[in-house]
Amino acid sequence: MNGIVLEDASVRLGEVEALRDVSLTLDARTTAVLGDNGSGKSTLARLVGGLLPASSGTVEVLGLDPRRQAAELRRRVAIVFSNPDAQIVMPTVAEDVAFSLRGDRLRRAERAERVTAALERFGLSDLADRSSHDLSGGQKQLLALCGAFVRSPELVIADEPTAYLDARNARHVADHLLAEGAHRLLLVTHDLALARRCESAVYVAEGRVAAVGASAEVIAAYEESLRW
Amino acid sequence: MVTLYRPGSSLWHLLATGRKALVLAALVLAISLLPQAWGRPTATIPAALCLACYAVPGIGLRVLLGQLVAMRWILIVTAVGQLIFLGPGPALVNTTRIAALISIAALLALTTRTTDLLDAMERGLSPLSRLRIDPQRVALLLAVTLNTVPALTRAAGQVREAQRARSARPSLRRFAVPFLILALKHADELGEALTARGVR
Ligand SMILES: Nc1ncnc2c1ncn2[C@@H]1O[C@H](COP(=O)(O)OP(=O)(O)O)[C@@H](O)[C@H]1O
Ligand SMILES: [Mg+2]
């Protein structure tokens, strides 16, 4: 089954055409998205994540139409953003993770069990009852990941998830995102070393796909464009 | 003001959220209905009730003290106002009554997880669904609003710091515009994060 398929997809944001006639088929388990500031990377991530509609063309994610099958998409696709502060919804760590399961009508015990397992996996068990707003930036971003992964998503979209972090925390977050598992990953990043760890990559320039393929080749093409 | 909930296993923690809210609401109502004309008992009864509520094992009077310190400005303003207009006797009675009232009401937030509060609110508000108001949304709105306070406090700090770094003299307008922009940006990002986490 195809992961992400775009056909002539365009996205208009006010006066700006942020994506123009993008056609893509992404099948690899992990894909990096590269490009300059304002090139349309976040727009691509939002389009795939169903947060924005295409103004023309078609989008298919995990075999779903992100707009018409939005509820199903939400269940199977998780999104992580850059700013850890804007992703926290609940006052304590465990409650924030549990928030992701609210819509799922799970039994209380099952909810608690899944939250505990997710906290464990992200090394947050000791912080379960701590105030989520008092965590460090790195811990907050791990909490955001934990809130995303607790739903066992099939696809994780991450838009510059390490942008606000120091090298150590960035590494930690990246390791979790790239860990072997059942999920696919679409990772927007400016960190070329991190992009290299993905199987494939897309290079976006001025709202168009400038290169797509194996990550090593696409990164080389992007670096070439930086040369002059 | 930031996170009010204190984990614990006191009587109040163990009481089911809905029942707890009813008990506390009844106490608050009773205290506010005590007639002014009774004089001193109008202060001593609320004070005694409040002490009794906090004296249960697992909470304690230190927590009450913390609450009183946190609301000191409200109490001072009330006391001064009453002192000027009504004199020392009524000022003491009313300020004590208000302190007891707020402290008792605060027990709900202090001993209930936001998650449980959300669940209870959804159940309590479910009659609203007949008016086409979605109780889930109302409960969520309240929870998110409470949780936005720390983020906005931080944003305000950032704006003030940035201004100090450029040694701009503090002014309300110079503060308000960048703060508003940060607040709107936060609202935007939070809205997207909520959608991404399954809130419709
Ligand atoms: N809400 C918006 N309204 C109008 N234009 C926008 C909006 N968001 C982004 N843009 C514009 O769309 C283009 C692509 O933005 P974006 O996808 O965020 O780029 P990137 O993530 O690669 O930095 C930019 O020119 C940006 O200015
Ligand atoms: Mg971006």
Number of DSSP helices (H) and strands (E) in chain B, helices first: 9, 0
Cβ pair A209, A40 in contact under 8 A: no
Residue whose CB lies within 8 A of the most ligand 1 atoms, among A10, A11, A12, A13, for a mutation test = A13
Q: How far apart are CA A227 and CA A224, in angstroms?
A: 5
The confidence band for B1, taking pLDDT boundaries of 50, 70 and 90, is very low
pLDDT at A1: 55
Residue A69, token pair as written in the block: 């099958």
The whole-model pTM stands at 0.79
Report the sign of the C-alpha dihedral through residues A37, B193, A123, A31, in that order: negative
Q: How far apart are CA B48 and CA A200, in angstroms?
A: 69
Residues of A with Cβ-Cβ distance to B147 under 8 angstroms: 88-91, 133
Q: Enumerate domains of chain A plus CATH numbers.
A: 28-50+69-225 (3.40.50.300)
Residues of A with Cβ-Cβ distance to B199 under 8 angstroms: 103
Q: What is the mean pLDDT of each run of 10 residues along chain A (228 residues)?
A: 89 94 95 96 96 95 93 94 89 91 85 95 93 90 95 95 93 93 94 96 96 96 88
Q: CB distance from A62 to chain B under 8 Å?
A: no
Residue A62, token pair as written in the block: 């995990």
Mutant choice from A79, A133, A143 vs B, greatest count of B C-beta within 10 A: A133
CB atoms within 10 A of CB B181: 12
Cβ pair A57, A8 in contact under 8 A: yes
The predicted complex's ipTM stands at: 0.85
Closest chain B residue to A144, measured at CA = B193
Residues of A with Cβ-Cβ distance to B2 under 8 angstroms: 131, 133-134
Question: Which range, of A36-40, B48-52, B96-100, B196-200, averages the lowest pLDDT?
Answer: B196-200
Helix, strand, or coil (residue A106)? coil
Q: CB distance from A164 to chain B under 8 Å?
A: no
Q: How far apart are CA A88 and CA A97, in angstroms?
A: 9
Cβ pair A41, A33 in contact under 8 A: yes
pLDDT one-digit tens code per residue, B3-41: 467 888 899 999 998 899 889 989 998 988 888 778 888
Q: Tell me if B115 and A98 make a contact (CB, 8 A cut-off).
A: yes
Cβ pair A48, A32 in contact under 8 A: no
